[in-house]
Each structure stands twice: as C-alpha cells, then as structure tokens.
Structure 1
Amino acid sequence: MPTLEPSAPPSTQAAEKASRALTIERLQEQAALARSIADRLPWQLAHFDLDLRCRFGNQAFCDGLRIDPSALEGRPFQDCFPQDALPALLPRFMQALGGEKQLRLTEQSTPGGAHTFTETSFTPDVHDGVVRGVFVETKEVAGRARVDDLAQNKRRFDLMADALQDSCIYFLDPVGRITEWSESAHRLHGFSREQVGNMHLADMAAPRVGEEAEIGIDDTIRLAIDRGQWETRGWLKRAGAEAFWGQTLITALRGDNGELEGLSCITRDMTAMKDLDRVMNDLNAELDRRVTQRVRQHTVPNKDLDIFTHSITHDLRGPVRHINTFAGLIAEELGENASEEIRHFRDAMKRASQRLNAMIENLLTYSRIGRIDLHPERLAMTNVLEGVVSRLRQAAPDRQIQWEIQPDLPMVVADAAMVNDLFTRLLDNAMKFTRKVEPAEIQIGCRTESDGTCLFFIVDNGAGFDVAKASNLFLMFQRQHHSLDFEGYGAGLALCQRIVQRHNGRIWLDSTPGHGCAVYFTLPVETAMAASGLAALGC
C-alpha cells in the first residue's frame, strides 16, 4: 500500500491561511494607496500591456474618457484616445514597446481662443530587462510664459511651413514613417493628413525607368542619421497628377541629450529646373554638333593648305639646287677668263639661291609646326632656359652679354621640342639686335595671370623698332631692319607665333627704336591645364 504524507496539524494550516490573508490585505491596501496617489495626480496616467490593452488608468484619465474606472480595464488602445490623434500616437507607442521613451507635444485651443500645450510621454515598463508594457502620461506644459513662447514659436513655424511655395516640410519618425504632415506638404504632394496616415517615406517615391533616385530611401535615412543631413533627388508622387522631380533635404532632429527624436524633410519641386537642364543639354548637344561640323569644315582646308605648302616647298628645292649647281658649272667653265661683272653675277646668283633655299626651309618648318602632333609634358622652365642660354653662349663665345633669368620659374605643360625652339629663336633675336650695344643686357622672367596662364617676357636693350610701322610683324619674311644691318630672313617671329598658338597662347611685342624690345607670350602653367587637355589642342 502507498505511504501517505502526514498532513499539517490544524493549527499550522490556520496560521498559513491567516498569513496569506494578511498579505492579501496589505497588497490591497498598497494598491488602494497607489490608486489614491495616481487619482490625485493632475495629469492623465494609464498603463497598456503588450496587446495594447489598458490595464490601469487614473481618475484624470477616466474623466478624460468620461467612463467609469471599472469599465476601463481591457479597453483597446485605439478606444482610449481621439481617432484623429492615433496616426501620430501609435508609432510612438510602438517605439516605446521597443524600449525607447517617446514624447509628443500637441496644441489645443480653448473656447476663449487661448492656446495650451499638452505633452504626451510613452515610457517603457521594464521588469528584469524585459518590456512588459507602456506607461502613457498626458499633462499640460507647466508655466504660462513657457506656454506662450511655445504657442508663438509653433505659430511662426506653422505660418512658415504653410506659406512655402513649390516646397514643403513634413516630419518622420526615426525609421522613416510620416508623423506630421503640413499644409505645404498637402499642397505640393496633393495628399491629405488622413491619406498619408502611417505611410513611409519610400511610399512617396515614383521612380521612372532610367531616372531612379541616386540611392535607396533606407540608405538615405541612414546617411541622414549618421551625418546629420542628407540630400536626395528623384521622382515623387503627386495625388491626381503627374509625378514631379523633387529635391529632398532630410535632417536628423536630436534633443539636448543627443537622442534622435525624428527626421525633418524639406522637399522642393525641381521639375522646371530638370526640364531646363534637358533643354540645355539638347542645346549643348546641338552646339557641339555644329562646332564639330564647323571644325571639320575648317580642318580639311587647313590640312589641304599644309599639304599644298609642303608640296610646293619640297618641289621648289630641286630647281634651286639645279640653279646653284649650274651657276657653279658656269663659273668653272669660264675660269680665269671671266670678267669682274660675270663673277659678280655668279656670286649674286649663288647668294640668291642660298637665300631662296633658306626661305623654303623656313616655309617647310612653318608647315611642319602646324601639322605635327603635340606631345605635352611637365617642363621646368628654369632648366629649359639654362640649357638654351648655354647653347647660345657656346655658339657666340666672343659676345659679352649680361643674362638675367628670374629664379624659380614655374612648371608649364607644353611640347618640349617646340618650347626649346621658341626660346632659342627669341633669344637668338635678342642677341642679334643687341650686337651693337655695350653692354648687352637680356632679361627673362614671367608672372602668372588671373586666368591661370603664365606670361613670359624677354626684354633686351638692343636696336628696337617702331611698333606703329610694324603691322605685318608676324608674317613670313617681313623684316623691320635692313638685311645689311642685321642678317636674317624675317621668318623667326612667324614661327614663334605658330608655336605659341599651338599651345593656345598669344604673343605680342613692345619696342621703341634705339631703346630695345620686349617680347610677351603666354603658356599654360601646370595647374591651368593637364597634359591630356593640352593634347586636344593639336589642331
């Protein structure tokens, strides 16, 4: 037979029963005291469980609902608050269930026209680290001055938000759901407060194929929270009308303690600007097409002219060589029997053929400068000039010239061979026209212009010339001095101008007879034009 446990003596059972009764009585007294304290609070206090049902409400809360406290327990959340406030309250309640305390400030108007503000707080009810429910407290903001300030600030904000044209402002919770919808948002998007309800910011997007927003809405919100502010563009919905292209600035709103309270959105209708951009792009494309066509129209004749010049000068060299050869044969045939006049004619013919040959060579060089491709690179101008001056000194060791080269000349982006040729020709000219001056002085320097180009100058104290009479200064074979005074063929400045123009620059001179000459020209400095950009100048 099974063994039965001995039952407690009757005296013990009575003691335990009396203890339980006493504990229940104390708990009831504590509950009554807690309710009495809660009922004496001047603000509304309620507790809701995880199923969004009311488990407690103080007298102020019941008075606000105009129900008896006995009928409150188990009442759904949506039956405890005004229906028009639920879209703003429910998101905050759900955030509180997630463990985050939430606040909401609302404005109320009294029958006398005064404005009051109430603050509704949602505080998580946490036990042992687990949320068991939410306390909801609603009370008026204390302090008349504070109320007046808040009323005035809110009125100003509402006036500003509602007066926006082609723009709007509205607010989101931290996850991107719309919590407050202004009149300007209604006017721009066409949706009412009731229609937006608990919509997400992503519900406002109206993407088109090939014109999607720059990044997704979730990433936009994340970036706005992380960085404080983020801007996005894309097609947005408009009720009863075609979507519009909007620019939206999203700003994270944080309290004094740095806690994220929500997000603000300022959207601007940029459809007209986008249409203007499209028109401008079409116009630019048409302009590019016309420019390309014009360039092609001019490029072909220029290339044909270069080919013609090259062919003519190349074909002329043969007859010149023949003339020079036959002149020599005639001189040999006549020998010592030639008269003084014949020998003079013979020497003049040789000089003329040599001069003609040199002119043809200059024409070939002029044509070649216009045809060859540029190979731009970074050039240290101090090194370039030192090399050019060194070669010129070796070519004229008897000349005593005071060279003054500005230190720390800038880097330029140019074709090295052409720049060497440019400075060689210009400095050779300066040496030539200072031959009769003692002491000869040649100064070289530069300065940076406002457009980023570098203005170089070469100044000498040589013979100079009258600028007013030098209208054809840069034409081939145009000279400002007689060949008996200074040798040359009048091609140097034309070739220099050709080189400068190939680098998208300009060149000019300033001079006074007997007081020297100054040559100015521009070249692109390193910061003004990259090598790849200069290569496009190879016209």
Structure 2
Amino acid sequence: MTGAGPLPLNVSAPREREARLRQYAGAFEDALVGMTVLGLDHKRLAVNRAFCQFVGYSAQELEGMSMRELVHPEDIDEDWRQFALLLDGAKESYRRDKRYMHKHGHAVWADFSCTLARDHQGAPLFFVTQVLDITERKGAEQQLRDMQSMLHLAAQVGRLGAWAWEVGSPTLAWSAEACAIYEVPPGFMPTPHQAVDFTVPAQRESLRATIAQCLRSGSPFDTEVEIVAARGRRLWVRVICEAEWDGSGQVRRLQGAVQDISEARAARHEILRLNAELEERVLQRTAQLESANRELEAFSYSIAHDLRGPLSSIDGFSNTLEASAGAVLDEKSLHYLRRIRAGVRQLSDLTDGLLSLAHLSRADLQPAGIDLAQLARREIDAMRRRDPHRVVHVVIPQVLPVRGDARLVSQALFHLLDNAWKFTSKRESAHIELGSKAGPDGEAIYFVRDDGVGFDMAYASKMFEAFHRIHAADDFPGVGLGLAVVQRIVSRHGGRVWGEAAPGLGATIYFTLGRPTRS
C-alpha cells in the first residue's frame, strides 16, 4: 500500500500541537493497530499504515475524506456525541465497537478508542484514535447467535424444555419451552412442590421418591409421568434428571429436561398398528438431535480454529513490536504491550480448555482394567524430569487396580498429581501420596494427598467449577480447569469427587469410579 508516513497537517497548528504530533510520529507509523490523529474540526491530520490497510484506502485518498464518508452511517452520530463530551471535559477518553466502510463497499468492525490531547494549559489540541480490527470476531459472534437460534427452534419442534434447581432454592428455573409444555407464562418459576403437583395424583409420591433418591445418592433418572397442564390438558411427559456435586460430596444442583411425549403413548388398541411408524419417528428425531450435536461441536471447533489465527497474529506482532520498538517505548507502554501478550496467551489457554471440557462430554468410553499406581509413577517421573531441583517424597502403592476408560482416567490422575506437585512447590521438602480406602458402604475411594498450601473449605463448593481459582494466578499459574476436568471425567464414570483441606496444611482430593456412563 502506498502512502508511507503520516498525512501532512491540514490546518495551521500552534507550535505546541506540532511538537506533540512529532512525539507521536516515532511509534505512530509502524504501530500494529490502526491510528489516526484528528483535528478539532474532525479532519485527519495523520494516519498510519495499519489504518490504511484496515479501510483499504491510501493515505492520499484519506486526506480528502470526511468522517461521514468513512464511518458507517448508523455509527457516525454517536461519534459526534462522544467528541462533544470530550471537548466539554465530561470525559477523558471513550471506547466502543463501531463500523467503518471499506473501500470495496463492505463494513468492517473496529474496537475503537479515542483520547483528546490537551496542551499544558488544558486547552484541546487534537484527537488521537486507535482502531483494532475485530471483523472476524463479530462474524463469529453472529454465527454463534444463529446457531443458538437454530437450537432454540429445534427444541420447539421437538417439544423439549430444560429445567434446573439449586438445592435449597425456593424455586426451579424453567426454559420457555418447558413453560409452553406446562401451559404457564414464559418466566414462570414454580416451587418444587408446585412442579410435582402438575403430576396426576396417582404418580406424585413415586416421582417424589425418585427425586429424593437422586438427592441422596446423585443417581440420574429418566422417567415418564402424566401431568395436568395449567389449562387442564392432560399429557405425558418424559422427565430426565442428573445431579451436580459440591466440594464436600453433596448434591448441590439438579438439572435436566422435560419433553412432551404424548404422541408416543398412543391408545393401546393402536399400538400394534403404529409401532413401526413410531419407532421410525423416534429414530428420525434421535438422528436430528445427534446431527445438531455434531454440528454444534463442529461449530465450536471451527470457532476455536478461527480464533487461533488472530490470537497467534496478535501475539507474534506484539512480540515483534516489543523487540523492534522496545527501546523507544516508555515503561508504561511496554507494560501495556506485555499485558496484551499475557492476555492473548490466557485467551488461547481458555479456548483450549473449553474445547477439552466439551470433548469430555461427548467422547465414547472404553472401560478396561487400569493400574493407577503404574500411571502415577509415569506422571511423577515426568514431573521430576521437568523440575529436577525439587525434593518431593512420593508414596505410591505397588498396584492400585481400577476399571474405567484408560485415556480419561489417566488424564484425571495427571491433573490431580499436577495440582499436588504445583501447590507443594513452595516447600523445601514436599510429600505427595496416592492411595485408596474403603467407604462406609464398602465402595473403593481413591485419593491424592499433599502437604502444600491447602485451601479454605469455605471455597470447596466452587473448586470443581470451570475457571474458578482458589489461589492467585501470580502465585500458582494455570487457568482453573484441572479440577473441572477431573469432575467431568469422574462423573462420566458414575463416580463423585470431593476435597478436604486447610490453609497451610495441604489438601486431599477423593474420588470414586462407578460404572462408566455415556452422557
């Protein structure tokens, strides 16, 4: 692209303004983000190469263009309003997402920020703007909204609603589709008693007993009941429920789905005639749901793939900028640049983590006999090679047989041992133990124990939530996904996981592995 160097001044400027403009010139032209300098009359005094590339115009072409020609018509009025607030001293700067019109006629999105530069007496000199291209991100957001709309439509067509109850809460949350099935207004939130009372009297006690069993043991259920909707219509619904555990091994949340299955329960004298047709319809609906799930998973991976490119570019270009312009940037600017790079790396880790969690819910399990002791020795050996200076006493039994999916169980054990290794890193001599014990009902309970920093049990209920961190990232690196992965893997195997700890006295994470299930 032609037009290297800032545009010449469009109007005569006081000496201080010219001096300030020269201060920007050093890092202005080669900045990786688009930058412009606007006079108080909104004419461009300077633009850099990145801005020219963003809008597709050369510097010479931009010199004669007004803001109204370049900014999207729906966004220009807000610019005028914000500029007026800056000039009035109501604010120092502003930032928003807005659109520009590219030379080729299409709109491009920018993360736009503007600051008003003033002289030493506080009088306005000019506006300095920065433009970061977020067109790809906006496109991805629109695609996600479209996919959500499609899934909402699929739920309506399939007469499938969702519900959730935080144990102890006075009301349940019902989706719009669930409200439609029960013929109540959208947003209706029944009490647990009200929700069960929609069931016909003959089936209420059985449903209550099923729910109570789920609260005690966390056992999922899938049952069919007849209900009387709010307007008096009788219909059959399928109620599906699964439990979530807190850090102490107690059920803290029930959630699931409700589906109108009245059509599937034809009158008995019609069953033989309709059986073949009904099975075909069930197969079709199942295929549709599986197809929607596959499409959603593919879409998620596509989004992650599309994000990695821009993230890599930002990280690479910011690294280049730090290497090439570090000597001329002040310490504050270098600090901002390093924060940008740290943020990009964190976002990349979070994206990978979300995909990992999504994959765990969909992966088929392949149960087999596994020796946890052998897996643990392999992981500990790798950690010793990584940190040869560490003094860590590790206790592992000779053998510790379990049954489960070898790949997933190995992943869960890695996260538990990695946490133990990490949270004992500030001890001169640390202790880590893998073992097992018998539970009250004879079930095998496995554990990983350490003598590290531990944690306050007040936070135990949130420790298995994705991205929740008990310790500061500056003290112990990570994105807060390890225990969430462990919880998801243990749950897939029909087990549970919980922790015991005290600040400064180490932590013990317990888990069981029941019969592997498929989500």
- Scaled by the length of structure 1, what TM-score is found? 0.41
- Scaled by the length of structure 2, what TM-score is found? 0.42
Higher normalized contact order (CA 8 Å, seq sep 6+, divided by chain length): 2
Which structure has the larger Rg over C-alpha atoms? 1
